[in-house]
Chain A
Amino acid sequence: MRLDAKIPAGPLPQKWDRHRFELKLVNPANKRKYDIIVVGTGLAGASASASLAELGYNVKTFCIQDSPRRAHSIAAQGGINAAKNYPNDGDSIWRLFYDTVKGGDFRAREANVYRLAQVSNWIIDQCVAQGVPFAREYGGLLANRSFGGAQLSRTFYARGQTGQQLLLGAYSALMRQVASGKVRMFPRREMLDLVVINGQARGIVARNLVSGEIERHEGHAVVLCTGGYGNVYYLSTNAKACNVTATFRAYKRGACFGNPCFTQIHPTCIPVHGTYQSKLTLMSESLRNDGRVWVPKTPGDQRKPSQIPEAERDYFLERKYPSFGNLVPRDVASRNAKEQCDQGKGVGDTGLAVFLDFSDAIKRDGRAVIEKKYGNLFQMYEKITGEDPYATPMMIYPAVHYTMGGLWVDYNLMSTIDGLYVLGEANFSDHGANRLGASALMQGLADGYFVIPYTIGGYLAGSHFAEVKNDHSAFTDSVKEVQERVTKLLAVRGRRTVDDFHRQLGLVMWDHCGMARTNEGLTTARARIQELRAEFWQNVRVPGTGRDFNQSLEKAGRVADFMEFAELLILDALARQESCGGHFNDAYQTEENEARRDDANFCHAAAWEFTGEGKDPVLHKEPLVFENVHLTQRSYK
């Protein structure tokens, strides 16, 4: 297999224009002859479905939840970036591009990132026109705030509920198309296989989560917008239904998986407090605008924060990174918190937490201002911990949050399977080895509103399609495989629950493939995962039947895929013998404990090809060519 990123020729700022001009067009009357399947209704899927339907394509859209409005994007808190430069503080498309490439530790494709920065401003225009109630200044114009990894304010926000508001905007556009008949919506469906015919993605097989029926859906192209795989760690800030199944099934049908080891651990989450815990809650990065991170200077200091005098506190981010301070990128902030806790300076019952303190900000701006900015986050914190963050500092600790890796895609967002597109967090495209805050929302909407509507047309207009009905043998075979797997899961009837296995898998991943990785740890983890997977198929207990609403069965299928996928993630981490962004191998660090890249040997995107059950996948490398930015050691000092 040869990876072809299909990056258009020409100078960076003109690539996208030129490419749009060169793409073939589908004439308006012909668009209705094409059926497009969109899986997922987060920012990427909802925006893609609506935009494609507006153009005239027939769209079939699928999601797991009972309503498309509930996709995980709804939970995003802090904001969305754009290069509007409203604050007049020196922003530009070029700077947003540069910050994103640098923040990703130079492991993303220049052309894609530049395009992302280019379309970022249209996204804000579109969302405002949909009625997204972004925060505004007194004069009625849009307000901005800062986020990690940037020294200026380019983040648009709607209180701490930006994802909710953006998703509801995209969802309302989607509902409008459902009403017009151009989108057929299939909620409570889980895609369990991709159907490839003559090398083209031509449909999906999905389980109806209410009736248990295995359904077939055919189309001319399939667009996966199924989100990230952070839940391979069990505990994460992701919603419970987030999974790798759709992308992993596509991988097994020939789509290469890109950079699976690039996972992001977010520095500010509510710490773990018990073994029963089912998920972790993020406290938005925007809090680092006003909150100061600190630990006691002396290891083992058990005093209450109010009793620790100023002189005995270490504001370690401000000390180590004077120019970015508390706003260093996530990977840097997380690793530093871990380092402090490893030195015994962690706080709270478990010693696995640091303080995030708002007392200075409250003193400076008054409680009302802080309440207006972060009220709902403070409330959320109080509900979970029973403590009042206005009165006492928050305690936070890093948690798994986002996955930069995903299916490999070219400049058109097409995977290594013709006609299979991948958008949003599900692809690997724009964030390299570390994503900057407020850039995932931007990317999801860029992909869905402003990239796929153009690139899919080029493919449809330029391809020949054999007539395919859903009784084609490829569908029949796939349905049979899916059904057999369901039967097999139910038939084990062992003694351990699905969650029990998932939790154990998560611990192995967190301990050995989390914030810091070693070759020995990764090797151990691989062996453990293999053992655990073998035990799963011998000893898992999935109650109920496959013929009705069965949440245990849903979970079991997802965990079974995580068990296989986890090994791929580990393999990728082992293959990348350098540190970069969120992938930190202890053996490769600078004297100041920062990630040390090896550009001579690893300046590439890894794309893994499935070669059969029980066989090791094959690694392909897409060299990353930087013609416009100079590769440097990232510095946030």
Chain B
Amino acid sequence: MSKTIHLTLKIWRQNGPGDKGRFETHPAKNISTDMSFLEMLDVVNEQLTLEDKEPIAFEHDCREGICGTCGTMVNGRAHGQLKGTTLCQLHMRHFADGDTLVIEPFRARAYPVIKDLVVDRSALDRVIQAGGYISVNTGNAPEANTLPVPQDRAERAMDAAACIGCGACVASCPNASAMLFVSAKVSQLALLPHGRPEAARRALSMVRAMDACGFGNCSNHRECEKTCPKEISIVNIARLNREYFKAAFISQEN
């Protein structure tokens, strides 16, 4: 059953990358527990607009957990406290009347703040550009059933491919490492026969790009796996490490 709750929001406001930023407190009144977290922010923003204040900038698009656009820290947790959930899928029935919520942007050296809760995650695209693909031009492909893929391998590739590129893993890692994100892509392609020919080069160059973009190293805190809304497993990181060392070894031999 839906009911109505009242909350206090402590929200990070920052005008741009140059601004120092600060917390602002806003009430969120008469929030239906059937609302999503983002709908709650919409309600606050409508109010701010009518009060002649600037609404809170936050990102979103699909609002159903698939595009990876949304995401903030809520009480210190990326995408909030609920397991396997993006911020847009978090509903207000998981909060209690009178709660105070601290809402901040994802923070990492590789994510400069654009405004309020909006950060620049383009570094993740640059990491993909370094090798997160199979080099096949349009028209080059052989018939789709030429290479069979054992079902369980295909399923594991799909588990890894489910990453939505939201970048929460980085925000929750004490080292701001992007290892979970990188490993998901490397694993997906390494598990499929189509991706094997480039597996070594891919692992090396994506890890290099990750370092160059200012992401940190992985030291096994496992925070990423806990907060990942798609529950990407750190088994993928182990697989990335294997591919990486294999690749490094081969490239030394050559």
Contacts and interface: CB of A to CB of B under 8 A. Distances in A.
> Does A associate with B in a complex?
yes
Interface in A164-202: 164-165, 168, 171-173, 175-176, 178-179, 185, 187
Contacts of A383: 65, 85, 89, 91
A75 B67 contact: yes
Contact of B132 (A136, A175, A500): A175
Given A140-B149, A140-B151, A495 B65 contact: no
Nearest to A129: B141
Contacts of A497: 46, 49-50
A122 interface: yes
Interface stretch (B54-62, B220-228, B237-245): B54-62
Contacts of A279: 63-64
A128 B141 contact: yes
Contacts of B138: 47, 50-51, 54, 126, 173, 449-450, 453
Nearest to B156: A133
* Of listed B52, B145, B189, residue having the most chain A CB within 10 A: B145
A495 B50 contact: yes
B34 A549 contact: no
A129 B140 contact: yes
B116 to A, nearest CB: 9
A54 B137 CA distance: 7
A65 B162 contact: no
A308 interface: no
Nearest to A238: B62
A239 B60 CA distance: 9
Contact of A380 (B89, B121, B165, B188): B89
Contacts of B150: 136, 140
B39 A278 contact: yes
A161 interface: yes
Interface stretch (A269-277, A316-324, A581-589): A269-277
A128 B145 CA distance: 9
Nearest to B154: A136
B246 interface: no
Given A69-B125, A129-B194, A176-B133, A75 B66 contact: yes
A633 B141 CA distance: 40
A72 interface: yes
* Of listed A84, A138, A175, residue having the most chain B CB within 10 A: A175
Nearest to B148: A140
A70 B67 contact: yes
Contacts of A276: 32, 35, 39, 42-43
A125 interface: yes
Contacts of A134: 154
Contacts of A173: 133, 136, 138
Contacts of B115: 548-549
27 contacts: A65-B69, A74-B66, A74-B68, A124-B144, A129-B134, A129-B194, A133-B158, A133-B192, A137-B151, A142-B144, A175-B132, A176-B133, A176-B135, A178-B125, A187-B125, A239-B62, A240-B62, A276-B43, A279-B63, A281-B64, A380-B65, A384-B89, A449-B138, A543-B49, A543-B52, A543-B53, A549-B114
